[in-house]
Structure 1
Amino acid sequence: MSISAVLTFLFGLIVITVGANILLKGASKIAILLRIKPIVIGLTVVSIGTSLPELAVGLTAIGEGSGDIAVGNIAGTNLVNILFILGLSAAIRPLILNLKSIKIEMYTMILAAIVLLLLSLDGSLGWGDGALMIGLGIIYLILIVRHSKREPAHVQREFQDEFETVSAKEKKDVQVWTWNFMLLFCGIIATIYGAEKLVEGATDIARYFGMSDALIGLTIIAIGTSAPELATTIVSTIKNDRDVAIGNLLGSSIINIFIILGVTAIFTPNGIHVSKDILWFDLPLAALVAIVCYPVFKSDQMVSRTEGITFVGLYVAYLVSLWVFRV
Structure 2
Amino acid sequence: MQPLRPADDSSAHAGPGDGVRVSLAELIDMRHRVREVPLFSSPHRRSQLVGLHHSKLRGRGVDFDQVRIYQAGDDVRTIDWRVTARTQEPHTKLFHEERERPIYLLVEQSPRLFLGSARAFKSVVVAQAASLVGWAALSHNDRVGGLVFGHGDQQEIKPRRSKQSLLQLLDRLARANAELQADQPDDSEAFGLALRRAREVLRPGSLAVIICDERALGDAAEQQMSLLARHVDLLLIPVCDPLDHALPAAGLLRFAQFGARLELDTHDTALRQAYRQQGEARSARWKRLADRLRLPLMPLTTQRELVEQMREHLIGQHQGASR
Q: Is the strand fraction higher in 1 or 2? A: 2
Using the size of structure 2 for normalisation, the TM-score is 0.28
Instruction: Tell which has more relative contact order, 1 or 2 (C-alpha 8 A, sep 6+).
Output: 1
Q: Is the helix fraction higher in 1 or 2? A: 1
Using the size of structure 1 for normalisation, the TM-score is 0.28
